[in-house]
């Protein structure tokens, strides 16, 4: 019986175009998040953030491609990782906008009650995750798992829905637990401190949720 050959790993102009677009998205999304959470670093680096990711993202993809020639999974993980980073930033960006809207509409000042912040945190995180998950599906279908030309079926949508719901629960639960663990025993926190702790917890939830999504997408939803 002939030994099965490994699928050839190729990098195309389309891959570079996707990487550049993702780098631009990452840079643009990082700006308002950094400005909100660390104004001093933002003031020093804001001019170079977008150009840096425009260059670093395709360069990182190229390095992953070279490694992927020996370990094929590395290249796919790299593409998923690029989308994952942009997804985390979409998640954090929508979360930050929701939190700002809440404070603006309801006149919440620095005397915000911690319990109230925790109550609304899970709601904000849920909204941001849903938006980020739609972003993830489109990018991963058309680039990471390269199935943009594959006809969509009901089973694919059902599988995506199941994986996404589980990922949603993992993301929100992990983020909410992390947030409660950090701020639950603290009093007198300012809005800036709450935003910083919330961003850290949101990132943790997003990373854990993304790890689940990669496994689910690869082994079930977009299985070739």
- Crossing angle (nearest 10°) for helices 72-106 and 13-37: 30
Residue 149 included in any domain: yes
Residue 105 included in any domain: yes
Residue 25 included in any domain: yes
Range of the domain at 182: 13-221
Please name the residues in contact with 98: beta carbons below 8 A apart, sequence gap of 6 or more. 123, 124, 127, 128
What pLDDT score was predicted for residue 111?
39
Residue 45 included in any domain: yes
Residue 8 included in any domain: no
What pLDDT score was predicted for residue 23?
92
What pLDDT score was predicted for residue 114?
47
Total H helices, total E strands in the chain: 6, 0
Residue 2 included in any domain: no
Under-70 pLDDT residues of the chain? 1-8, 99-100, 102-119, 147-154, 184-188, 191-192, 224
The DSSP string of 163-221 is HHHHHHHHHHHHHHHHHHHHHTT--S--HHHHHHHHHHHHHHHHHHHHHHHHHHIIIII
Report the domain count for the chain. Answer: 1
CA pair distance 19, 11, nearest whole angstrom: 11
What pLDDT score was predicted for residue 59?
94
What pLDDT score was predicted for residue 8?
66
Residue 50 included in any domain: yes
Q: What is the pTM (predicted TM-score) of this model?
A: 0.66
């Amino acid at each position: 019986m002939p030994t099965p050959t490994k699928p050839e790993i190729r990098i195309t102009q389309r891959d570079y175009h996707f990487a550049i677009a993702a780098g631009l998205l990452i840079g643009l999304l990082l700006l308002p998040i950094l400005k909100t959470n660390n104004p001093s670093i933002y003031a020093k680096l804001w001019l170079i953030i977008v150009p840096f990711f425009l260059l670093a993202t395709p360069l990182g993809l190229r390095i992953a491609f070279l490694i992927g020639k020996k370990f094929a999974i590395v290249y796919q993980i790299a593409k998923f990782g690029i989308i994952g980073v942009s997804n985390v930033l979409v998640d954090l960006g929508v979360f930050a906008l929701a939190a700002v809207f809440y404070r603006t509409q309801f006149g919440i000042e620095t005397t915000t009650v911690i319990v109230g912040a925790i109550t609304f945190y899970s709601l904000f995180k849920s909204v941001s995750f849903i938006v980020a998950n739609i972003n993830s599906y489109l990018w991963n279908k058309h680039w990471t798992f390269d199935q943009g030309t594959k006809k969509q079926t009901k089973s694919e949508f059902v599988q995506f829905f199941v994986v996404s719901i589980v990922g949603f629960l993992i993301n929100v639960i992990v983020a909410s637990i992390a947030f409660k663990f950090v701020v639950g025993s603290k009093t007198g926190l300012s809005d800036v401190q709450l935003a910083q702790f919330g961003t850290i917890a949101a990132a943790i939830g997003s990373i854990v949720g993304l790890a689940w999504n990669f496994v689910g997408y690869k082994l079930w939803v977009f299985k070739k």
